[in-house]
Amino acid sequence: MELFLIIGVLLFSALVCSLVRQRGVIEVISVSASTVALIISLFVALKVSTQGAYSPFPIFSVDALGAIVMLIIATVGLAASFFSVFYLREETKKMIVGFRRIKQYFVLLNLFLAVVFFAIMVNSPILMWISIEATTLSTAFLISFYNKPSSMEAAWKYLIINSVGLLLAFFGTLLYLTSVRTFGADGFISWEVLIANAGHLDIQVMKIAFIFVLIGYGTKVGLFPMHTWLPDAHSKAPVPVSALLSGVLLNVALVAVLRFKLVTDVFVGNGFSARLLILFGMASIVAAALIIFTQKNYKRLLAYSSIENIGIITLGFGIGGLGAFAALLHMIYHALIKSSLFFSAGSLFLKYSSTKISNIRGAIGAVPFTAALFLMGFLAITGIPPFGLFLTKLYILSAGIAMHPYAVLLALASFIVLFIGFLRHGAAMIFGEKPTDIKPGETNRWLVFPPLALLIIALYLSVHIPPFLYTLITNAVAIYSS
């Protein structure tokens, strides 16, 4: 019942937003729906931590990994909904968007959240593919929200590349489904049914199927070299949408990869899938490090940072054991910190009306609170203590040093390059001489709260992991680790 309620509340919110003509009602109903989703997600996570996988209906099942990702979706979703209210009000004052576009935005935002929740809850590889494909449609319209040639180009690029990728994932899914000889009692092909029947599939065919799934869903995850849509989409979409793409969508697509990895490992062994995850993870880390150093757009800078961090998470799951434990923590920290960074970037854009790094100078004097949060986010995302990304990177490297020493050394070198690149760009933006035409003061004080709240949560979880969350992480590692 709880799972239906989350999706129902968000769909109801989307319906109300499409019908009413009062902006205040649209804003209140959207934030309220996201709040309800967070409360229910927390309730489900607590239940899963104490009772195991929660399956109220055959079509729905939430395991430990699903509960963690539900909490990420709900937390980032609520922050994005709240930030959207005041961010879009400021853009309306600047005559950038009108009321009709605002209505469309909140309808699509609620639909996106409903679909990603459904993707995590649903207990079927086919329905998960359908729901992830549905995210492509809803987010494509959000990426093209400003209706400019560059944003339209980014939306089409996103739509075409991800559609091709998901077509490959669908082909891989069909290969897995050819193994099914017996259905569940209700005639439903669940993940459990797929695992039970996977032994009927030839091992070489299963390896081919996993490669298709990894490349297909890996496109949505943003792994190199299938990442080409991601920087354009992040840089052209509204800031709250960029936060959702980075903090939510990439993780949901990665869950699909991990679930097929679980099916593959049962019969092929974990070595095959682990090597592929390490390969794509390392490629993403190295490519992002080299590109970040020369970036000129701070939203694209954050986008390439997402590629790096999703590479770290993939590498951790490939290494397994302690690496997988750290990868799950890294997933949580990255979602919170990167979303905070995008929100702060949005406040900088409202003040400076530019996304070029060279045009942002003296931010600490122009928007002191936002600049401080942006600096904290920069330091946190590069793995500076006391934020947890320092420990997760350390754990992943220490877990892999024995079996993969060259990969670990290359990753460490990439982290150093990334830190230097971020420090170089961040120092130039935050310090220096403020342009004379920029008046000091926050654009809207309410815009400070979402990034501040996310950083506080990330810092708290860096020094203390609640017992229920620790249980979820350890249970997820036991299931999905190599």
pLDDT, one tens digit per residue, over 407-453 is: 889 999 999 988 888 888 888 888 877 777 788 888 888 999 999 99
- Determine, yes or no, domain membership for 478: yes
Half-sphere CA count of 140, side-chain side, radius 13 A: 17
Mean pLDDT of the chain: 90
In a domain, 309, yes or no: yes
Query: Is 31 inside a domain boundary?
Result: no
Look up residue 58 and give its DSSP letter.
Answer: T
Which tokens sit at 430? Answer: 């935050």
* pLDDT level of residue 180 (50, 70, 90 thresholds): confident
Q: Which two tokens stand for residue 111?
A: 């639909």
Question: What percent of the chain lies above the pLDDT cut of 70?
Answer: 98
| Res. 186 pLDDT band, cuts 50 70 90 | low
| Model confidence pLDDT, tens digit, residues 317-332 | 999 889 999 999 999 9
pLDDT for 334-374, tens place per residue? Answer: 999 999 999 999 999 988 888 888 888 888 888 889 999 99
Number of domains comprising the chain: 1
Does any domain span residue 194? no
User: Please, which residues have CB within 8 angstroms of residue 317's CB and are 6 or more apart in sequence?
Assistant: 258, 261, 277, 323, 324, 327, 480, 481, 482
What predicted TM-score, i.e. pTM, was given to this entire model?
0.94
Rounded to whole angstroms, how far apart are CA atoms 169 and 119?
Answer: 15
| Helix/strand/coil for 247 | helix
Which whole number is the average pLDDT over 191-218?
88
pLDDT bin (cut points 50, 70, 90) of residue 120 is very high
Residue 85 lies inside a defined structural domain of this protein? no
Rounded to 5 degrees, φ, ψ at 156 are -65, -40
Question: Which tens digit of pLDDT belongs to each residue from 42-101?
Answer: 999 999 999 988 888 888 899 999 999 999 999 999 999 999 999 999 988 888 888 888
Examine the pLDDT at 165 and tell me if it is beyond 90.
yes
Residue 294 banded pLDDT, cuts 50, 70, 90: confident
- pLDDT for 421: 85
Q: What is the 3-state secondary structure (H, E, C) of 378-423?
A: HHHHCCCCCCCHHHHHHHHHHHHCCCCHHHHHHHHHHHHHHHHHHH
Identify the three-state secondary structure at position 431: coil
Q: 62: part of which helix (H) or strand (E)?
A: strand 60-62
Task: Report the pLDDT averaged over residues 152-170.
Answer: 92
Tokens 């590498």 correspond to 315
Q: How deeply is 190 buried, as exposed, middle or buried, from its count of CB atoms within 10 A (0-12, 13-18, 19+)?
A: buried
Burial 288-323 (b: 16+ CB within 10 A, else e): bbebbbebebbbbbbbbbbbbbbbbbbbbbbbbebb
Out of 146-150, 226-230, 242-246, give the one with best mean pLDDT: 242-246
pLDDT at 482 exceeding the cut of 60: no
Residue 455: inside a domain: yes
Whose CA is closest to 281, among 393, 201, 134, 150?
A: 393
Asked if residue 47 is part of any domain, the answer here is: no
Q: Which residues constitute the domain of residue 322?
A: 269-482
pLDDT surpassing 90 at residue 307: yes
Burial of 186 (0-12, 13-18, 19+ CB in 10 A): exposed
Q: Is residue 315 part of a domain?
A: yes
Residue 287, pLDDT > 90, answer yes
CA distances from 454 to 195, 395, 449, 450 (A): 37, 23, 9, 6
